[in-house]
Amino acid sequence: MVVGGQVTHELEVQVSASQAWELISTLELAKLIQQTLTDVVEKIEVVQGDGQAGTILRITCAPGVPGPGWQTEKFTVVDNEKRVKVAEVIEGGYLELGFTLFRVRAEIIECSSSSCIIKSSLEYELKEEAAANVAIDSLVSAHPFAKIAEIAKNHLLLQNENNRDYDA
């Protein structure tokens, strides 16, 4: 038997959907995460690809982060029309803890010409026997999405501010 579920996080950002997608859909987001979440992520390496579907990343956790210490993720969907990006853990990380599926989806939803929502969701499944040994609530949380969305938001707003200063 398999145990599963989903968690979701949404954050409104005062930038255009296309500007947010430009960050979220590319490897720039991975670079930003590596630069800002140094307490969690030591290194993000591109194993294969250019940020489009099929891209594979190897993420090494910072020393002291509980768990397996690394994982490999594959971008399975990068849809520029729908502004949807999906990545799955394919090796290490959560799979080592008994998860059979750990899929992250990011979507940019246009609200107006100058605002959008960054919607992040996590879909997971794990073996029932693993569920008894894993603190699911601590591993399956919207907190990482909230943190990454906030980092993206701050980066995008700073980018807008710098562009305004440059244009002045």
List the catalytic residues: 85
Tokens linked to 29:
């987001």
Asked if 52 and 75 touch (Cβ cutoff 8 Å), the reply is yes
Asked if 29 and 147 touch (Cβ cutoff 8 Å), the reply is no
18: helix, coil or strand? helix
Residue 41 to residue 29: CA distance in whole angstroms: 13
Tokens linked to 168:
């002045």
